[in-house]
Structure 1
Amino acid sequence: MIANYRRVEDIGAISAENELEYSASIQILADTIRENLNPVLPLSSETCIYRVPEVLRRVSESAYTPKLVSLGPFHRDNGSLSKMHVHKRVYLKTYLEWYPEIKLESCLEALRGIEGRARQCYAEFINLNSFQFVEMMLLDGFFIIVFLIKFYSPERRGSDPIFDTMWMSWIIEHDMILLENQLPFFVLELLFNLAPDSKHDDTYPDLFDMTIQVFEGLVETNATPNTIDRSKVKHILDLLRGCCIPLSPVESPQVDRMSKVRYSVTELHDAGVKFKAGVSGSKCLLDVKFVGGVLEIQPLCIEDRTEPFIRNLIALEQFHYPNQAYVTSYAVFLDNLINTPKDASLLIHHEIIENCLGDHEEVSRSIKNLAKAVLADGSYFSEDYAKLEAYCKRRRHKWMTSLRRTYFHSPWAIISLIAAVFLIILTLIQAICSIISL
């Protein structure tokens, strides 16, 4: 290929002397470009695993990069993650020992049968031959499955360095929710279902429910699993997103491009808006309701995994769900509400945010960073924004709030106000009586 370009340069040097050779050089260049286009495949309908764009990665590199284990091809050659290769082989051996009926050859044959479909799930050309790709799916797939089983059923752990040191299992959980670190869910299900029916001994549920249970700290385990179409789940991150989005998704939540909350939590509070943790009749994280001056928001636990989890959900939506970007809208909603640590403190006070980071300023910073460099064309919360805007524009709400906080903030303030009013009335009566007696 390089030789072809050199040939074009050589011919170009004499093109003025020989028009025929100039035409030949154009043909060589066209053939070279056409040859370079061959590896560039169009995205398939199966595509669901993407590289995080640099514009998002620059905001928080650590939120998108695995710390301990590579899963899938994108970080396979990262030398700092190579130590986990031993654990992957140990977990494969463990699973085959749990179920001796499973033959390694059968696993490889089954994976070879879906190799083409699995490759199409990645949004770029995977430079692995067939043997390498199948081995990767085998080792990474069984590593995920055995990790989930051991996490869910501690009695199956035995002597395992991953679970004997809590930090390792915690970091692996982090690595499993990264967009770039995913295996197609149908690959995991194929390997999981190779085990005989005897595995259903109440030790652990099916792969779908077990995954949700393992990540219960990030999603509501009893909120939406029955409403998710299992056949459409792309990978673990996609499954967890399904546990967060509304039960009845709207096809295009971006109603108003310019809609946003124009008031922070503190400003809303000063305008008389009351805050309530939890939305009546809902457990969906993204549900928000503003009725009768009360803003109901589902509780959100802010811990070390929260920011990378929401960031990777946003990255997935930017690629795969541009017309159903619910988590993106939610992040922008929080970003608009929280501008200072005082805003975060008010939501923490009303138990809408559970602060597991310790520092209110850190909570504020974490939430403010979620929406950085994010493209959000409108919002799923446009209707709520409009209601809040209309409420805050009414001056009487601010006046009533100021009156309550100035004169009715404590029993003693109320007593003082009543005494002052009573004194004024007595003074007026005395003045009137004096006038009449004249």
Structure 2
Amino acid sequence: MENRDLELGDMENMIQERVQRFLHRVEKEQSLNEQIIPTIHMAPRTLRDLSPHSFSPRVVSIGPLHRDDENVQFERQKAIYLTNLMKHITSSTPGIIMNSCMEKVYASMEKIKACYVLTKTYDDVEFAEMMVMDACFILGFIHQTFVKNSVDMFYAEDIVCDLVLLENQIPFFFLKEIFECTIAELMPNTPLVNFMHPLLSILNLFDSDVGLNILKNICIDDTHHILSLLHECYKPPKNDNSEEEFSITKPHSAVDLDKAGVSFKPYRSQTWVLGMEMEFPCFLWSWCKCTLRMPIFHVSDFTEVTLRNLIAYEQEARKTHNCITSYAFVINMLVNTQDDIAKLVDSKVLLNVLGSNEEAANMINTICKEVAVVNSLYRQQWKTLDKYYNRYWPKHIGWMRRTYFSSPWNIIALIVGSSIFALTIVQTIFTIGDKK
């Protein structure tokens, strides 16, 4: 009996000890999560299933989420970039530099891991080596490609695409720490954001340097990773909090709006790259043509991947503007067919270097599928545009153009019909005159 009581007592003590250990771990993780919200994770399944190639790296994995992918085993090349980077730093030996890098990663190990929604458990040694290798590779690639201009361009474009993927990131604060141990020794007067500028210029979706120039004044502490840094380029001014629920009953394509008298022109805002505004040349705006001024959108090989990952980041990130999602819904509403692309290209608000207009239209038409929209930055502009379109004259002029001037045959039929009608009237008049 005593033995049984002892066994029960030991069991109770063991359970209490495990409960205390569990509660301690929960409190520790809760405390850490209150400081750091995971920002590097797999894209939402609904978005990923639509376009898996837009979220999976093609050449190189960065961080732990695609570490085991068989198609992106680039470790040997990473080591070459790391070695070349160390060779350029003559102020210290490779051993001293690597020791500094390792000290940085071990000092921030828990903070770095908390940035990820990890799908696998890594021991500290493996995780530290992976993070230092990947950070040095990113910095070495940018240095060799854009500073030294001596990189194998066969891989360069694919690597640039891989560096903007949501699932392929490392925390920006850690990249900055490794930058200070390496590149800062080579380029002491160059901030990390300036160093990243050439990479962001290639990934830039719009024909404007306004957003990239704004980066010089951003707070690194608010930047999660490289994709987040690119997103900073597109945020509206801090005093602009005009996001409202986006609800349009009947979207109008670029061709339909053009037929109703709406023209499109580039908008080069000095404060916000994604700015849009409506212009009316006269006071009675319902009686005159209006102009929608828009940013110049680049459609290239990088566009779909960059756009989808920025949208996925906005869908998951907390406390961030839905600026890219807002723009994506606008351009998606304007484009139904390749004719809409042609209209926007002619209006110089879209630059298509992707290939055919049909290919560009197909890409834009699928970009917003399964994307949840809560707020939009363009609700007011679209409300005004919709109101203008539904006025009597624009609406009926648009209907006449679609009905009678949509093709050469319709125009010919209208001319022939009008001529016959006119001849009939003339003949009737002469007949009446002859009778008198």
Compute the TM-score of the two structures, normalised by the length of structure 2: 0.78
- Structure 1 residue 111 corresponds to structure 2 residue 105: yes
Rounded Cα–Cα distance in structure 2 between residues aligned with 1:342 and 1:226: 34
Pairing of 1:18-97 with structure 2 (within 5 A): 41=29, 43-47=33-37, 48-82=39-73, 84-97=74-87
Does the 8 Å CA contact 2:268/2:295 hold for their aligned counterparts? no
Query: Which whole-Å deviations, capped at 9, do the CAs of 1:107-140 have from their partners, x for residues lacking one?
Result: 2112211112111111346511111111011100
- Structure 1 residue 301 corresponds to structure 2 residue 298: yes
Residue number among 336, 340, 343 corresponding to 2:337 in the alignment: 340
Give the superposed CA RMSD. 3.8
| CA shift for structure 1 position 209 | 1.5
CA shift in 2, pair 1:175/1:37, >3 Å: farther
Give aligned-pair identity as a percent: 26
Does the 8 Å CA contact 1:212/1:240 hold for their aligned counterparts? no
- Structure 1 residue 365 corresponds to structure 2 residue 379: no
CA shift in 2, pair 1:187/1:132, >3 Å: same
Does the 8 Å CA contact 1:246/1:286 hold for their aligned counterparts? yes
CA shift in 2, pair 1:402/1:77, >3 Å: closer
The number of aligned residues is 390
Residue number among 254, 260, 264 corresponding to 2:253 in the alignment: 264
Compute the TM-score of the two structures, normalised by the length of structure 1: 0.77
Pairing of 1:189-268 with structure 2 (within 5 A): 189-195=176-182, 199-200=186-187, 205-219=190-204, 222-228=209-215, 229-231=218-220, 232-248=222-238, 250-251=240-241, 253=243, 255-259=244-248, 262-268=251-257
Query: Which whole-Å deviations, capped at 9, do the CAs of 1:130-179 have from their partners, x for residues lacking one?
Result: 11111011100000001111121235x3xxxxx23x23000000000000
Does the 8 Å CA contact 1:245/1:326 hold for their aligned counterparts? yes
Rounded Cα–Cα distance in structure 1 between residues aligned with 2:312 and 2:137: 25
| CA shift for structure 1 position 245 | 2.4
| CA shift for structure 1 position 367 | 0.6
Query: Which whole-Å deviations, capped at 9, do the CAs of 1:299-355 have from their partners, x for residues lacking one?
Result: 111111101101101111111146521111111111122122222221122122111
Query: Which whole-Å deviations, capped at 9, do the CAs of 1:362-381 have from their partners, x for residues lacking one?
Result: 11110111101111024211
| CA shift for structure 1 position 251 | 4.2
SS of aligned partner of 2:201: coil
Letter aligned with residue 146 of structure 2: Y
| CA shift for structure 1 position 280 | 4.5
- Structure 1 residue 130 corresponds to structure 2 residue 121: no
CA shift in 2, pair 1:390/1:188, >3 Å: same
Does the 8 Å CA contact 1:283/1:298 hold for their aligned counterparts? no
Pairing of 1:375-386 with structure 2 (within 5 A): 375-386=372-383
Rounded Cα–Cα distance in structure 2 between residues aligned with 1:309 and 1:63: 8
- Structure 1 residue 397 corresponds to structure 2 residue 391: no
Letter aligned with residue 99 of structure 2: E
Does the 8 Å CA contact 1:67/1:175 hold for their aligned counterparts? yes
SS of aligned partner of 2:229: helix
Rounded Cα–Cα distance in structure 2 between residues aligned with 1:60 and 1:187: 30
Equivalence for 2:160: 173
Equivalence for 1:8: none
Letter aligned with residue 247 of structure 2: M
CA shift in 2, pair 1:168/1:351, >3 Å: same
| CA shift for structure 1 position 360 | 1.2
| CA shift for structure 1 position 96 | 1.6
Unmatched 5+ residue regions in structure 2?
1-10, 281-289, 406-414
Equivalence for 1:99: 89
Rounded Cα–Cα distance in structure 1 between residues aligned with 2:360 and 2:81: 37
Unmatched 5+ residue regions in structure 1?
1-23, 158-162, 408-415
| CA shift for structure 1 position 392 | 0.5
Does the 8 Å CA contact 2:176/2:192 hold for their aligned counterparts? yes
Residue number among 138, 141, 162 corresponding to 1:144 in the alignment: 138
Rounded Cα–Cα distance in structure 2 between residues aligned with 1:36 and 1:361: 58
